[in-house]
């Protein structure tokens, strides 16, 4: 066999061997890629994403799309060939597995956490939108979670409305912890609560809950320090003067908050926020309307542009990363609050795009 032919054959065999080895060698990485986008003004699975009843709504046009990221599952074992391909691809990102699933978190645990964050983001989006419009929102303190094997287990329940602790009225979730930690471990603390089922029934009837009950719980020591705890987390629960439902399945995490809030504002006000333009975006939102950063920003801009978006509302803290690789034809608009977003949408609607606050790498 000629030397050149033998060399080529040997090289080919080595390459095949390396490729085969790469297929079987797993690496501790996961992949992120653009997920679907959904118009918050439109429908998903045949029904409106935003369903508002008990209040006049107005027709809308254009798009206010929330964006998503696909990730490989916690149990998926990425091989070396897939990792290299992902590193070279423009429309995907390979990240350490622990970035997506820290502390050995299972896929089920991650899904549950994302579902809880998604639910909370909806409530924050509703509150931010209504406060933006000057519509009153009532807030009360509730039991968010009860820890397993804690003194409160079986005594207090998620959704119970906390009216007072030791006779002192609570106005903020932080008040609960402050009042409990005044005690020493082993002392008794009295919670005045409206049971969750009674509170829910009253809310459904459009009334304030009547009556409450006192529940006495013995505190215990908190781990390695001397704080007294009962084993609950308190949080805010907002009640709205009319019904707002967000219908969107198979989506998790808090990053759609901004786009949900803008969709609600659009439906509750005359005219159109976008003027018929295709706008997409992302960002968490708190009840005061402040927009927070999210993960996977570059995958979301790619997904938005692929769907047809011309403008992308970008949390200011994500701007530098997003601006480092902008899909052609997409304008990144920097937002810090819901007010920033509505002002930018007004400029887009009027065609005054030269004045838009755009993202830069600096």
Digit-coded pLDDT (tens) for 156-213: 999 999 999 999 999 999 999 999 999 999 999 999 999 988 888 877 776 777 789 9
Residues 296-344: tens digit of each pLDDT: 899 999 999 999 999 999 999 999 999 999 999 999 999 999 999 999 9
Asked if 193 and 160 count as a contact pair (C-beta separation under 8 A), the reply is: yes
Residues whose CB falls within 8 Å of the CB of residue 2, separated by 6 or more in sequence, listed in order: none
24 pLDDT exceeds 60?
Answer: no
Per-residue buried b or exposed e for 112-148, using 16+ beta carbons within 10 Å of the residue's own CB: eeeeebbebbbbbbbbbbbbbeeeeeeebbbbbbbee
What's the pLDDT score for residue 214?
A: 96
Contact 321, 327 (CB under 8 A): no
- pTM for this structure? 0.78
**Mean pLDDT of all residues in the chain?**
86
Q: Cα–Cα distance between 297 and 334 in angstroms, integer?
A: 13
Cα 228 from chain centre: 32
């Amino acid at each position: 066999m000629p030397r050149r032919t033998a060399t080529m054959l040997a090289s080919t065999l080595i390459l095949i061997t390396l490729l085969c080895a790469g297929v079987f060698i797993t690496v501790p990485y996961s992949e992120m890629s653009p997920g679907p986008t959904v118009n918050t003004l439109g429908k998903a699975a045949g029904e409106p994403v935003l369903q508002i009843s008990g209040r006049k709504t107005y027709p809308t046009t254009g798009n206010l799309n929330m964006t998503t990221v696909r990730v490989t599952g916690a149990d998926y074992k990425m091989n070396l060939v897939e990792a290299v391909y992902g590193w070279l691809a423009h429309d995907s990102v390979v990240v350490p597995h622990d970035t997506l699933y820290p502390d050995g978190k299972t896929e089920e645990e991650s899904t549950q956490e994302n579902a809880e964050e998604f639910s909370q983001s909806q409530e924050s989006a509703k509150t931010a939108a209504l406060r933006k419009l000057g519509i009153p929102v009532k807030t009360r303190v509730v039991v968010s979670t009860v820890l397993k094997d804690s003194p409160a287990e079986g005594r207090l329940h998620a959704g119970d409305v906390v009216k007072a602790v030791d006779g002192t009225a609570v106005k903020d979730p932080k008040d609960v912890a402050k009042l409990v930690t005044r005690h020493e471990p082993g002392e008794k603390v009295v919670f005045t609560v409206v049971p969750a089922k009674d509170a829910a029934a009253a809310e459904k009837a459009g009334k304030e809950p009547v009556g409450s009950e006192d529940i006495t719980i013995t505190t215990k020591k908190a781990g390695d320090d001397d704080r007294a705890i009962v084993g609950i987390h308190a949080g805010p629960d907002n009640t709205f003067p009319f019904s707002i439902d967000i219908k969107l399945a198979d989506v998790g995490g808090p990053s759609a908050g901004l786009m949900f809030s803008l969709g609600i504002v659009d439906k509750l006000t005359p005219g159109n926020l976008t003027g018929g333009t295709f706008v997409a975006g992302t960002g968490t939102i708190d009840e005061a309307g402040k927009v927070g950063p999210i993960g996977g920003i570059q995958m979301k801009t790619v997904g938005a542009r692929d769907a047809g978006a011309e403008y992308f509302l970008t949390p200011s803290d994500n701007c530098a990363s997003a601006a480092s690789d902008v899909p052609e034809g997409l304008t990144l608009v920097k937002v810090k609050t819901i007010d920033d977003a509505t002002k930018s949408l007004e400029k887009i609607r009027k065609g005054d795009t030269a004045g838009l606050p755009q993202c830069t790498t600096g």
